[in-house]
Structure 1
Amino acid sequence: MTEYPIPKQATRVREVTGTTPYTFNKDIRGASEPIIMRGLVGDWPMVRKALQSDDALCEYLAGFDRGMPLTAMQGPASNDGRIFYNQDLTGLNCRPSQTQLPTALEFIRKHAGDAQSPTFAIQSIVVPHHLPGLERELPMPLLAEQVEPRIWIGGKATVAAHYDASENIACCVAGKRRFTLFPPEQVTNLYPGPFEMTPAGAVISMVDFDNPDLQAHPRFEQALAHAQVADLEPGDGLYIPYLWWHHVRALQGLNVLVNYWWGEPNPSYGDPRNALFFAMMALNTLPAGQREAWRHHFNHYVFDNAGDLGSHLPDGRRGIMETFSTDALKRLKQRLIQVLSRK
C-alpha cells in the first residue's frame, strides 16, 4: 500500500467507541467536530464479508444486484486516482460512463494490484433504489429510518476536498479510507473552484494535497494548521459536521463506503446557496464602503440575532422578523421572483 504522509501540522480526529443514539446526539453532534466512531458498523454482514475476502464481498453484493445501470467516473492511470479538472479547467480529467455492478467489480479487482491503476469510482448510489434489500442489512440506529444509505465503490480514487450542505456519517466497509478535514471557516485558505462546473455537484478545493503549489495557493499552509486526519478501517464510522471540508482518499485496491446524509435545507425556505449567489450578485458589485455597511445588516438580521428580531415592535406587525407563515413565505417568494426576473 502506498504511504501518504500526514501533514505535520494536522491533528488526529478524536475517537470514541460504544456510540449510542444518546451519546451521538449529545456528545458527538453537540461538539460540532468530526469524530471517529470505531467499530460502529462492525456487525454489518457486508463488513464481515469484506474482512473475509474480496471474493466474499463481491459475491455478497452480487446477491442484491438487479441489473440496474450504474454511473462510474473513469479516467486514465495518469490521474493517479485523482478525480479533478483537466489542465485548463474546460472539463474534468474523468468521464462518466454507464456500467453494471458485476462489470464494475471485475474491473476494480483486475487493476487492484496495479502500481498505477485507472481511476474508477461509483459514487453516491442510493442503496434501496439500486441494490434493493441491502438497506435492511445496513442498520443505522443513530439516525431516523427515512435517512437512506448510499454506497460508494471504487479503486484507489481520491476525491478533492469539498463540503456538503448536510451532516454526514461515513462508514468504511471495505479497504481503508483517509479523510482530511477542515472547519468551514477555512474556505478562504482552501481556494474553492468554480460553482458552475464541479466533479460531483459540490465545490472542490483547487489545491493538490499531494503536491501543493504554495506559490499559487500560499494560504493553504494556514489551512493545514486546522487540518484533522481520520484513518478508517472496515467497520468504522466518521461523523462529518455540516459544511466541514473533507478530502477523501481510498487507500486499497477494492474500497467500499456507505454514507448517510441528513439535515439538508428545508425546501420551503430555500437552499442557503441560492441566498449566497444572490448576495454575491447584489453586493459584490458595490463599492467597498457600501459592502461594509451591508455587513452590519446581515449580521443583525441573519448571523448575530438571538431569536428576538423585532421584539421592539407590536405583535402581528413584525412581518418576516417574526414568522415565516405559509402566506408570508408565498408573498416573499413572489417578491423575489419579480426582483430576479427584472432585466
Structure 2
Amino acid sequence: MPLAPLKPPPRPRPAALLDLTPDWLGWVADNRLWGCSPQSMLDTMVAAGLDATLSEAAIAQIEQDPVFLTAQRHQQMLRKLESVCANQQKLWASDPGYGVIEKRRGVSRDEFVERYVRGSRPVVLQDVAEDWPAMRRWSPADLRERFGHLEVDVQVGRNTDALFEQNKAQLRQRMRVAEFVDLVMSGGATNDHYLTANDEMMRKPEFLPLLQDIGRMPPLCDPALLHTAASFWFGPAGTRTPLHHDTLMLFHAQVVGRKRWRFVSPLQTPLLYNRMGVYSPIDLDAPDYQRYPLLREAQVLEVVLEPGDTLFLPLGWWHQVSSLELSMSFSYTNLDVANEFSYVNPTIGNW
C-alpha cells in the first residue's frame, strides 16, 4: 500500500525563484545538486544576461525550497547506491588479473559458469570457432554468390547522425545483399554503412544455410535454439558500435577480420552518464574529460578479437566496438542458463 502524502507546508515559494523562468530554475537546482559552487553559478547567470541581485537571491533561496530539499534526500539514497557499486568494483579490480581479458582454451562448463557467468568476467575462447566451416568459407564473395539476390535491411548514412545507433530505424535502407557487398568492397574504411544484428536476417529461412557453417558451441549453449538466437554482422573497416550495454549475455565469434572491444564494468555505470536507454554519450576512443569528468575514474579494459576468437560478454558490461578490418562476425544468445533480465532505463536524453 502506498504511503499517504505528507501534508504540504503553506509557505509560498520566494519571489526570487518565481522570477526565474522554468529553464533557469531547473538549471539552478541541477547545478547545486551537482555540487557547483554558488559563485560559479552566479558568474554564469550574469554572463548570460540575468540580473546579478536576482540570480544571487535565487541561488541562496533554492537551498530552502522544499522541492529541492526533497531532491537532496533522494540524492543521498542514490549516492549510497553509487558507493556500494564503487566498493564492489574496488574488490573486483583488486584481482591482479582484472585489467586483462583472458584468452583461453579447454574451459569446462562448471568453471565457465562459476568464473565467467556468475563471476561476470569477459573472456575470449580460442577453441570454439576455430574449426567452424564458416572460418574457411565466409567471405564477401561467398556472401554475394550464395545470398546476393536476397534483400536485407542495412544502416546507411550513419556518418550523418551522431546518434546513429539510437536512430537506427531512421537510417534503415533495404537493398540486395549483392549491392551491399559491392558498397562495402568499394567504399573503403567507413562507419557509414553496416549490416548489424538489427536486421535479424538469421530469423529468415532463406539465410538459414549460414547456420550450417557454424560448428561446435560453448558447453553452456543449446544448439537446438541457435536459429532463434543468432545474429550476423558484416561491414567495412571503420564501423563502430557506440558505448552501450546489452540486457542479456552473449557470445560473439569473429570469423573474418579483427575487431577491437573496449569494456567498462557495469559497477562503474555511475561514471558513464547513462541518460538514455542502454547508451552512454561517451566515446572511449576520444574521451572528453572536460564534459564528462567522472570518466577519469573508470577503468577501461580492451581486447582485439582475431579470426577464430569467441568473446563471452557478461551481463551488463559496457562495450564499444570498432572494426579494424573488413569484418564478418556471428553472435548468439542461446545459453542454457538464466538469460532474461530487466533494466529500468533512463529516458532523460541530452541533460
- TM-score range (shorter-chain normalised) is 0.5 to 0.7
24 and 206 in structure 1: CA distance in 2 versus 1, 3 angstrom threshold: same
Given candidates 153, 156, 161, the residue that maps to 2:234 is: 153
Instruction: Give unpaired runs (5+ residues) of structure 1.
Output: 1-9, 51-56, 196-202, 266-270, 282-343
How far has the Cα of 1:232 moved from its partner? 0.4
Rg larger in structure: 2
| 1:169-190 deviation per Cα after TM superposition (whole angstroms, max 9, x unaligned) | 1111111001111111111111
- Please provide the CA RMSD for this pair: 3.1
Counterpart of 2:322 in structure 1 is 249
Q: Tell me the amino acid that sits aligned with residue 235 of structure 2.
A: G
Q: Is 1:272 aligned to 2:272, yes or no? A: no
How far has the Cα of 1:240 moved from its partner? 0.7
How far has the Cα of 1:218 moved from its partner? 0.4
30 and 108 in structure 1: CA distance in 2 versus 1, 3 angstrom threshold: same
Given candidates 287, 291, 296, the residue that maps to 1:212 is: 287
Q: Tell me the amino acid that sits aligned with residue 153 of structure 1.
A: F
Q: Tell me the amino acid that sits aligned with residue 239 of structure 2.
A: A
Q: Tell me the amino acid that sits aligned with residue 129 of structure 2.
A: V
Q: Tell me the amino acid that sits aligned with residue 272 of structure 1.
A: S
139 and 70 in structure 1: CA distance in 2 versus 1, 3 angstrom threshold: same
Counterpart of 1:6 in structure 2 is none
How far has the Cα of 1:118 moved from its partner? 5.5
> When the two structures are superposed, what TM-score results if normalisation uses the length of structure 1?
0.62
Higher normalized strand content (fraction of residues): 1
| 1:13-38 deviation per Cα after TM superposition (whole angstroms, max 9, x unaligned) | 11212345454334432432001112
Counterpart of 1:43 in structure 2 is 131
Spell out structure 1 runs of 4+ moving beyond 6 A. Answer: none
**Aligned pairs (5 A) from 1:4-15:** 11-15=99-103
Of residues 205-214 and 117-126 in structure 1, the stretch that sits farther from structure 2 once superposed is: 117-126
Q: Is 1:109 aligned to 2:185, yes or no? A: yes
35 and 222 in structure 1: CA distance in 2 versus 1, 3 angstrom threshold: same
Q: Is 1:144 aligned to 2:222, yes or no? A: yes
Structure with higher RCO (Cα < 8 A, 6+ apart): 1
Q: Is the 8 A contact 1:68 1:100 kept in 2?
A: yes
Q: How many angstroms apart in 2 are the aligned matches of 1:164 and 1:215?
A: 27
Q: How many angstroms apart in 2 are the aligned matches of 1:234 and 1:158?
A: 18
Percentage of pairs with the same residue: 19
Q: How many angstroms apart in 2 are the aligned matches of 1:48 and 1:22?
A: 31
How far has the Cα of 1:247 moved from its partner? 0.7
Q: How many angstroms apart in 2 are the aligned matches of 1:154 and 1:30?
A: 33
Instruction: Give unpaired runs (5+ residues) of structure 2.
Output: 1-97
Q: Is the 8 A contact 2:152 2:201 kept in 1?
A: no
210 and 32 in structure 1: CA distance in 2 versus 1, 3 angstrom threshold: closer
Given candidates 293, 297, 300, the residue that maps to 1:222 is: 297
Given candidates 244, 266, 277, the residue that maps to 1:184 is: 266
Higher normalized helix content (fraction of residues): 2
How far has the Cα of 1:212 moved from its partner? 1.6
| 1:282-313 deviation per Cα after TM superposition (whole angstroms, max 9, x unaligned) | xxxxxxxxxxxxxxxxxxxxxxxxxxxxxxxx
How far has the Cα of 1:106 moved from its partner? 1.1
Q: Is the 8 A contact 1:64 1:134 kept in 2?
A: no
Q: How many angstroms apart in 2 are the aligned matches of 1:212 and 1:241?
A: 24
Q: Is the 8 A contact 1:34 1:239 kept in 2?
A: yes
> When the two structures are superposed, what TM-score results if normalisation uses the length of structure 2?
0.60
90 and 109 in structure 1: CA distance in 2 versus 1, 3 angstrom threshold: closer
Q: Tell me the amino acid that sits aligned with residue 329 of structure 2.
A: L
Q: Tell me the amino acid that sits aligned with residue 307 of structure 2.
A: P
